[in-house]
Amino acid sequence: MCEMLNRIWSRPRGEWTRILRKELPAVAAKVVDELLCNTPVFADIVERIGKDAAQAAVEQALLLALGLRSKADGIRSSLSTPEPRPATGLAVTALPDARARQALFAALADDRCLPKEVLAELARQAGWPLPDRARAVVLGAASSNEAPQLALQLTAALGQGLLGTVDTDVCLIVPDPGPEARSELVTVLGGRVAAIGHSAPVADAASSLRWARRLLALAPAGAGPKERLVFVDDHLSDLLLLQDESLARALCARWLRPLEALTPRQSERLEATLLAWLESGGAPEAARALQVHPQTIRYRLRQMEKLFGPALRDPRMRFELELALRSRRLLAQSRRLRRRVQGRGHALAAAVHPLGLARQARVNGL
């Protein structure tokens, strides 16, 4: 790589792009071969997407590194600034359609943003009209076998979609036509386990994919048909609270300390009551949510006034209390899901039965 850069910088500025186009494929091929020999994870990826697609992705990564990190103005301008000559001559290797689509999916699923002209050239080779905005669709394990059929249905409904995998998740990136996207997605995916990411600029499709995968991992197992299809748009606050679980636990410890002196059952009851009251805005509404008598809610609120003091009358403190209570509920749900996954793994490995749901600790009445 250093030798290539030395050869580039030793030539006139006008020849840099030509030398890049000539040298970069060979450098990318050497990088891929070296990674195949020494990096098992990379070898698994290459087996899944093909060596040509992997080499193309490495070429784009090298272009990105040269375009965004080089101190030479000439290289930066030749890779990211429009020139009189076509911007498509940016060392993007021509690929067969299937491999080109795999390479485009890999580029869009990567958190590192490629230069617009490189992304446009990959889209041209893949035959995928680059939309302004896109959404990610992540399929649950039960729906993964239907991925090709679902991809065709989504293509018919929304325009062309890109199908690929991230780790073990089968994912699609689809154009976002606007407000009508939700009804179309519900029609095609209704009854299947899937998470739909938020609408994002196509160059930032990786963020839509990342949060859709996170939401699918948090979705409760055994949900009813209406809960199998979940939208990031409906869970933005939950995902925000769980973006950093350590910080969420610190928030809970800061605001829910007065409940530590109570028994687990008392604490659980008061937490559920306080959250219902904060969310609904009144004792009658909280009573309906918890299916108890309003006087029961008022009695518990008097108990909490003794514990929390003036915090329950301060809007900012009530907001922080609600955040803490929501965080604790989400953390408990996340722990239960992890235990179920671990329990299934232990059962398969050691032929022992995991604890039943009835024997698991209940938190916040969930």
DSSP 5-51: HHHHHTS-GGGHHHHHHHHHHHHHHHHHHHHHHH-HHHHHHHHHH-H
In which element (H, E) is residue 213 found?
helix 205-218
41 and 118 within one domain = yes
Whether 355 shows a pLDDT value over 50: the answer reads no
> What is the average per-residue pLDDT within 243-263?
86
The band of 180, judged by pLDDT with boundaries at 50, 70 and 90, is: confident
| CA torsion through residues 93, 99, 102, 106, sign | negative
Residue in this structure with the two tokens 């108990």, named with its chain if needed: 303
Whether 209 shows a pLDDT value over 90: the answer reads yes
276 and 225 within one domain = no
The band of 198, judged by pLDDT with boundaries at 50, 70 and 90, is: very high
Domain that holds residue 167: 131-241
3 and 121 within one domain = yes
**CA gap 90, 77 in Å, rounded:** 12
At residue 201, the pLDDT reads 92
**Does residue 212 fall inside a structural domain?**
yes
User: Of 186, 217, 241, which residue is a domain's last?
Assistant: 241
Local structure of 160: helix, strand or coil: coil
CA distances from 168 to 44, 45, 164, 171, 228 (A): 12, 11, 10, 9, 19
Whether residue 86 contacts residue 122, with contact meaning beta carbons closer than 8 Å, is answered with no
> What is the average per-residue pLDDT within 71-90?
36
124 and 5 within one domain = yes
Residue in this structure with the two tokens 């990031």, named with its chain if needed: 232
**Does residue 285 fall inside a structural domain?**
yes
78 and 167 within one domain = no
Beta bridge partners of 200: 134
286 and 264 within one domain = yes
> What is the average per-residue pLDDT within 260-288?
87
72 and 145 within one domain = no
> What is the average per-residue pLDDT within 237-258?
86
At residue 207, the pLDDT reads 93
More confident residue, 115 or 308: 308
At residue 211, the pLDDT reads 92
pTM (predicted TM-score): 0.57
Q: In Å, how far from its chain's centre is CA 308?
A: 37
Whether residue 19 contacts residue 7, with contact meaning beta carbons closer than 8 Å, is answered with yes
Tokens representing residue 13 in the block: 């500025």
Percent of the chain past pLDDT 70, that is, above it, reads: 71
Whether residue 106 contacts residue 164, with contact meaning beta carbons closer than 8 Å, is answered with yes
Backbone angles phi, psi at 165, to 5 degrees: -125, 145
At residue 75, the pLDDT reads 33
User: Of 241, 260, 286, which residue is a domain's last?
Assistant: 241
The band of 217, judged by pLDDT with boundaries at 50, 70 and 90, is: confident
At residue 206, the pLDDT reads 92
98 and 38 within one domain = yes
At residue 220, the pLDDT reads 59
Whether 157 shows a pLDDT value over 50: the answer reads yes
181 and 86 within one domain = no
**CA gap 144, 133 in Å, rounded:** 24
Whether 113 shows a pLDDT value over 90: the answer reads no
171 and 111 within one domain = no
Q: How many domains does the chain have?
A: 3
> What is the average per-residue pLDDT within 342-359?
43
φ/ψ region of 365 (left if φ > 0, alpha if ψ in -120 to 50, else beta) reads: left
**Does residue 67 fall inside a structural domain?**
yes
221 and 258 within one domain = no
Shortest CA distance to 220 belongs to which of 332, 321, 114? 332
> What is the average per-residue pLDDT within 276-292?
87
More confident residue, 358 or 194: 194
User: Of 241, 275, 310, which residue is a domain's last?
Assistant: 241
